[in-house]
Amino acid sequence: MHAFVDYLDFKNLPFVDALRALLQAFRLPGEAQKIDRYMLKFAERYIAGNAQTPFANAGRCLYPLFSAPVSSLGI
């Protein structure tokens, strides 16, 4: 999983475009813990390749990753 995410190039991509590239490359697993691992690795990789990102660190990058799907459910 880590090697797969490391293979993708997110340099100089806006956050949404980088996330879209990740999600188009494979299908997310159904288990929340596995999704969390993928999203954390994506966040680390995104931060490493984008110095001008508004996120201070990978942990801050996780909030919008999880809030977008929940808000679309209307919960």
Please identify every residue annotated as catalytic.
31
DSSP code at position 8:
S
CB 28 within 8 A of CB 35: yes
